[in-house]
Amino acid sequence: MVDVTAKQPTLRVATACARIRFPRETFAALTAAGFETAKGPVIATAIVAGTMAAKRTHELIPFCHPLGLERCDVEIAPAGADTLEVRCTAAVHHRTGVEMEALTGVAIAALAVYDMCKSLSHDIVIEQTRLLEKRGGKSDFVAEPPA
């Protein structure tokens, strides 16, 4: 791990997103079913999965510092006729950032959606997993809109 002992704790906030693209018929069926499948409520389950993953990032990615997140918000909403967008915002007062926690949150939430919907179609694509912004620490970052 990187030595962060000399850094001052500051508020660190990061937001990441991912998109989940479905075949149109599958997305229409999911929407009509209130995003419920045989496995249960898709969006609620994925939100819990993403939150749990963000809190355990240091157990999944070898050189991440363990952080006691003070905030973790996972949101999932339709973004077009065949797509869901997942966003995760993580925050902590610490010496290191929370980008990996936000990215892990969206990645695992998206994978949970895939798992819960794979009985409807295996042609589901998880795409554009990326950091949108981070604040605090040495430098801030805001992503350019995708081309």
Name the active-site residue from 3, 82, 115, 140.
115
- Is 140 a known active-site residue? no
CA distance 108 to 125: 14
Which residues are tagged catalytic? 115
